[in-house]
């Protein structure tokens, strides 16, 4: 059975990522850089996905290229180790959550973009 998370509109999650980062003194541009690093979207591609209102499944499914270094993203989100998630889509979603989390915690962009 498909997770309900997959059908959440990316355009609903995106402002929450920005809000989380900005609360900790980081910028929308840094959030965008993290998203682009992970997914391969360029600025226009990312904006097009937001404008289209695609869900998380389509957002990751249509991503130009998941970064080959994404496997280096480790750690826990909501008590779940991202490197142990079996479902590839759920793992990609959690990778993005983890990257935004690291951004909000003040990690340098060089360390976040492994």
State pLDDT tens for residues 44-77.
999 999 999 999 999 999 999 999 999 999 999 8
* Structural domain boundaries, residue 70: 9-106
What CATH number is associated with residue 76? 1.10.8.290
Question: Do the domain assignments include residue 77?
Answer: yes
Structural contact between residues 34 and 104, judged by C-beta atoms closer than 8 angstroms: no
Question: Do the domain assignments include residue 53?
Answer: yes
Question: Do the domain assignments include residue 52?
Answer: yes
Q: Which residue's structure tokens are 């989100």?
A: 77
Rounded to an integer, what distance in angstroms lies between the CA atom of residue 16 and that of residue 81?
22
Question: Do the domain assignments include residue 33?
Answer: yes
Report the range of poorest mean pLDDT among 2-6, 20-24, 100-104: 2-6
Question: Do the domain assignments include residue 36?
Answer: yes
Question: Do the domain assignments include residue 79?
Answer: yes
Question: Do the domain assignments include residue 114?
Answer: no
Q: How many domains does the chain have?
A: 1
Q: Cα separations (Å) of 90 from 3, 47, 94, 108?
A: 8, 22, 6, 25
Rounded to an integer, what distance in angstroms lies between the CA atom of residue 94 and that of residue 76?
9
Question: Do the domain assignments include residue 20?
Answer: yes
> Model's pTM, two decimal places?
0.93
């Amino acid at each position: 059975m498909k997770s309900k998370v997959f059908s959440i509109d990316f355009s609903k999650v995106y402002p929450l990522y920005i809000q989380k980062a900005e609360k900790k003194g980081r910028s929308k541009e840094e959030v965008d850089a993290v998203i682009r690093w992970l997914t391969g979207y360029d600025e226009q591609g990312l904006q097009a996905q937001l404008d289209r209102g695609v869900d998380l499944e389509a957002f990751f499914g249509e991503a130009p290229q998941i970064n080959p270094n994404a496997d280096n993203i480790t750690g826990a989100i909501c008590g779940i180790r991202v490197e142990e998630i079996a479902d590839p889509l759920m793992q990609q979603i959690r990778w993005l959550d983890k990257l935004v989390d690291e951004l909000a915690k003040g990690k340098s962009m060089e360390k976040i973009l492994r």
